[in-house]
Amino acid sequence: MPAKRTRPVSTAQQLTGLIILATLGLILVWLLVQQSRFNPAVTALQTPRSTAVAKAGPAASPQATALVPQVAGFTPLGPVQNFGPENLSDKIDGKAELYLSAGFRTLAVQSFTLTQPAGAYLEVFLYDMGEPQNAYAVFSSQRRPGSTGLSFRPNAYATTNALFFTAGNFYVEMILDRAVPDVAAVLEPFTTALVANLPAAAEGGNPAALFPQRGLVADSVRLQAADAFGLAGFNNVYTAEYSVAGAQATAFLAQRPDAAQAAAEARRYQEFLQANGYRAVQNPTIPENITILTLEDFYEAIVVVEQTLAGVHEAPSLAAALDLAKTIQEALTRKR
């Protein structure tokens, strides 16, 4: 039996193969570059010491320089860097829109080495968000699951390598390049000095107190500063997670200047849902002043009590949506 002949590879096929290999190589390089970029809102510090010192940022303003303290045991690696709305993405690529939509004004950043733990690297991010509510919006939207709450500020928590809090108009991130047994204790001298430098401002109360406490999941209250649930202009909406009727559901609450605006926004939200395929649920168990809509296996509830628009978002059952909507309505009625 004659041996099977191998078909020769044409020049065009060779060229195509080389192009594919080159393209794959470029994709690999791009992925490595993307993974190496530091995002202060999500990950621990990955910046080598030499890079941190060499990078030149915008000239620091006298105000920013005055706010970031100089503390024994925390040696600055360079001057304070300033970022505004026009170049915020240069520092926090991929997260800038979250801050900009919440009223961001300026960011001051400075890096330090620590005496204890020896050689540890710290980067401090001081965001001026303009108003306490804006500061809470970015603080709450990025809260890490399983983090440890701290008592030195109304809104503060720690992870194994970082500390986050609000102080008046400011949202602060302090991120180490390593995990430590007690990050709050390690950073306490710097934190105390920084808080003392920040302008005094009202904190705006405890957002968790806005919601009924029965079934409320701890540390789940968030503030969506803009376009909540995808509806343009549906701004400053608080959300909270609940365990209700054997399921998990999200409650929402938005305080408006008056009852007329709350009612108008409720109608607009209902129209938005219906335009996206939701239909009103007709059921004798639903009170007249609660509207429930459904799409596939999701249920939405809308409640208005005077100047407050509230409801339930993406509940997994009619029972869960109705139970939580009634609880919210009763709590809001009692507060009138």
- In this structure, what token pair is assigned to residue 229? 């649930």
Reading the block at residue 232, the tokens are 């343009």
List per-residue pLDDT tens for the chain, 336 residues long: 444 444 454 555 555 665 666 666 655 544 444 443 333 333 334 333 333 333 434 444 456 668 899 999 999 999 999 999 999 999 987 889 999 999 999 999 999 999 999 999 999 999 999 999 999 999 999 887 778 888 888 889 999 999 999 998 999 999 999 999 999 999 999 999 999 998 876 666 678 888 999 999 988 899 999 999 999 999 999 999 999 877 899 999 999 999 999 999 999 999 999 999 999 999 999 998 999 999 999 999 999 999 999 999 999 999 999 999 999 999 999 887
Task: Check: CB of residue 91 under 8 Å from CB of residue 109.
Answer: yes
Nearest to 308 by CA among 218, 238, 242: 238
**Count of C-beta atoms within a 10 Å radius of residue 304:** 22
Position of tokens 């060229």?
Answer: 15
pLDDT at 5: 42
Query: In the chain, what are the domain boundaries?
Result: 49-197, 207-335
Which secondary structure element, helix H or strand E, spans residue 17, and what is its range?
A: helix 11-36
pLDDT of residue 7: 45
- State whether residue 265 is helix, strand or coil: helix
- Strand ordering across the sheet containing 290-295: 222-224, 237-244, 247-255, 308-315, 298-305, 290-295, 279-280
Query: 10 Å Cβ neighbour count for 136?
Result: 25
Residue 39's pLDDT is 37
What's the confidence (pLDDT) of residue 199? Answer: 82
Q: Residue 62's pLDDT is what?
A: 53
> Which class is domain 207-335?
alpha beta
Fold of 49-197: Protein Transport Mog1p; Chain A (3.40.1000)
**Cα distance between residue 115 and residue 201, in whole Å:** 32
pLDDT for 143 equals 86
Task: Please tell me the distance from the alpha carbon of residue 250 to that of residue 133, in angstroms, as a whole number.
Answer: 20
Q: Which long-range contacts (CB under 8 A, 24 or more apart) does 77-80 make?
A: 77/49, 77/52, 77/53, 77/110, 77/111, 77/112, 77/113, 78/52, 78/53, 78/110, 78/111, 79/110, 80/108, 80/109, 80/110
The answer to whether the beta carbons of residues 169 and 201 sit under 8 Å apart is: yes
CA–CA gap between residue 301 and residue 174 (Å, rounded): 39
Q: CB count, 10 Å around CB of 316?
A: 15
Sorted by sequence, the CB contacts under 8 Å of residue 193 that are 6+ apart come out as 69, 71
Q: Are strands 74-76 and 81-83 parallel, antiparallel or unpaired?
A: unpaired
Q: Is 4 left (phi over 0), alpha (psi -120 to 50) or beta?
A: beta
Q: Where are the alpha helices (DSSP H) in 106-168?
A: 132-141
**What residues contact residue 98 under an 8 Å CB cut-off, 6+ apart?**
41, 138, 141, 142
pTM: 0.74
Helices (H) and strands (E) in the chain, counts: 8, 15
> Among all chains, which residue has been given the structure tokens 């195509």?
16
302, 285 contact by CB (below 8 A):
no
What is the Cα–Cα distance from 300 to 312, expressed in whole angstroms?
Answer: 5
pLDDT score at 271: 97
